[in-house]
A and B are shown apart, each in its own frame.
Chain A
């Protein structure tokens, strides 16, 4: 399926993006002693696994996979996560926000509070537990304003903090992954991809996805100007009306703050067609927690978030 056979000297845009991402992953393997790849079962990290295969097969991945589980994930996604790791024969580490809550290091204001921002604490605890010196993640620069200015190799101090005004200069394809003990480098191989690049890549490589990315019938309520699926952690509130709608998820995260969009797209090709004509950004449509402030992502990244 890959169009890497060459008839001209110009790589297609997907070939170029893939090649850049492979190069970045191999730099991590070459420069870091104990990296980890964050894998959630979401579409971006599914692309990352494909890139890792192209970067390292027939060898094993030079890093384990890790998921920071908020306990607010869709079962379809965590099942997919486990199945994919098993198919690849790679080691999967799962660290759970609920363990941090039991330890008392994560304290929620209320039981139904969105848990995305608290993931940072569990992530930092896991980094310390395993002494990871680099974490490879699937964040993209087109997702959000603060990400647009973040390096591909992004240095974090002992507290996991990102300092946007004091980033390492990053020139050519000469990446600097050096760090001292306790510090950490976050690496984003698909920084230069957009949402539609991800979908085109999924189609080209025929990558399997969790079923909730495709149109399905689901009970929802309208809340905070968006659609919220009715689940065990997001029960119906008094006065709300439950509707059955055809929906799909553009992004899969914490159930309490990840909204689906109405759609009939039941194949990757139909999703690409919809994405090309959408009028709403991925986060705008689906992340209820990013709308509080123009700078909320920047703030969370400074606190150690991916």
Chain B
């Protein structure tokens, strides 16, 4: 909960000359008790994203509930059932901009039974903020959240030691929590961790630095968010282009389009330039890139996360589900996969059943070949296990009817991830990361 100032006049965003540093997706992990909702409310409020009518609605609701301050956490509870029960049951997405970067916050509930929601939110995040209550230090849920963030390959982690106001802004408390965290993070192999003391309630070290954390010399939260590098900035990434759709406008009145074959998709990773040698999978045929198009425009190259249309030098039969890669950088072609799997469904994984696995734009029937172990996400222990139930995370092996073109998830999220679909309900029931 947070008392907030009366509405200030809004400031125009510096839209004209400001640099555009793209878009960053981040995940907040923690429970309401850690001040997660207050942190999100603070980011939205300080970036002037909360508008007056929303604020007035929050004020009215706070008054109705008998509160004498505006509850910033009201911003983040969305559904009727959630309001009735005072809990969060699903991932909510929030948006704000600083004028130089746009942010998408995935707000996931923190309880153990909602592991599947955190996995969902983490799958698209570039950065995770793991909240720790300074009075409580590293808890089982901290380890759980950190493990999932690591498992889902979130490249940047910020450990936010919140509620510093309740421990007199003590540098010793902060140092002790940092040491505790590093001890278990080292065992998990988590890298790129930043530690930050803060008070979301008072706004210290979120957007403003405040005056009570003078001993902390590192960046504020917003400085980190504004400057972390884009996800695909590594030049060593391999080019991966799953074909989504083939454009053949044969019926067109325009004879120039008669032989047009455009291969449409989104670059999952890496870069490609006109003239590059490419290999088409599964056929293995090689050709070169003739053109890269978006609408009527020809581009010299295409980069990760860009949706484009590729035209090739030679006429090759290509359809949805095929993949175009740079020659010499081939992924593994395999009908057997080892993976970490998070089970998302109410019904347990049935080793006798056939499921559908969707990997990039390709589907294949699949059968479980074995469960190696299940992870206890509070202790990180590996346990022998016969069946998987909702929220379980396990190392498994699948046999596939059709080969897929895969990379290890740790190298490429786009071509290392898959979902499991139950054809009898069409529901998405599992999320896998190839080892």
Contact = CB atoms under 8 A, between A and B. Distances in A.
B10 A59 contact: no
A285 interface: yes
Contact of B294 (A11, A30, A54, A148): A54
In the A-B complex, the 10 residue pairs with the smallest Cβ-Cβ separation, listed nearest first, are A284-B53, A22-B307, A13-B102, A178-B426, A279-B52, A171-B123, A12-B20, A26-B244, A59-B249, A10-B230
A277 B15 CA distance: 12
B15 A53 contact: no
A301 B83 CA distance: 17
A295 B417 CA distance: 36
Interface of B: 7, 9-13, 15, 20-23, 51-54, 57, 61, 78-81, 83, 89-95, 97, 101-102, 104, 116, 119-120, 123-124, 230, 232-233, 235, 244-245, 247-249, 252, 254, 257, 260, 262, 264-266, 271, 294-297, 299-307, 320, 344, 358-361, 413-414, 417-419, 421, 426-428, 431
Q: Which secondary structure characterizes the binding site on chain B?
A: mixed
A55 B309 CA distance: 8
Contacts of B12: 273, 276-277
Most A C-beta atoms less than 10 A away, residue of B22, B57, B232: B22
B79 A200 contact: no
A11 B267 CA distance: 12
A276 B15 contact: yes
Interface string A170-181: 111110101110
Nearest to B24: A13
6 contacts: A22-B307, A29-B244, A59-B247, A171-B428, A176-B419, A194-B95
Contacts of B358: 174, 176
Most A C-beta atoms less than 10 A away, residue of B101, B235, B426: B426
Interface stretch (A1-9, A63-71, A207-215): A1-9
Interface string A292-306: 001100110000000
B414 A173 contact: yes
Contacts of B360: 174
Contacts of B428: 168-171, 176
A149 B90 contact: yes
Contacts of B83: 294-295
Interface in A158-186: 164-165, 167-174, 176, 178-180
Contacts of A15: 306
Nearest to B21: A10
Contacts of B418: 174
Contacts of B91: 149
Interface of A: 2, 4-6, 9-20, 22-23, 26-27, 29-30, 53-60, 62, 141-142, 145-146, 148-149, 155, 164-165, 167-174, 176, 178-180, 191-192, 194, 196-197, 200, 272-273, 276-281, 284-285, 294-295, 298-299
Contacts of A62: 245
A59 B247 CA distance: 6
A132 B306 CA distance: 29
Contacts of B266: 19, 22-23, 26, 173
Nearest to B119: A171
A165 B413 CA distance: 28
Given A58-B247, A146-B78, A174 B419 contact: yes
Contacts of A155: 426
A164 B296 CA distance: 40
B244 A10 contact: no
B427 A168 contact: yes
B93 A192 contact: yes
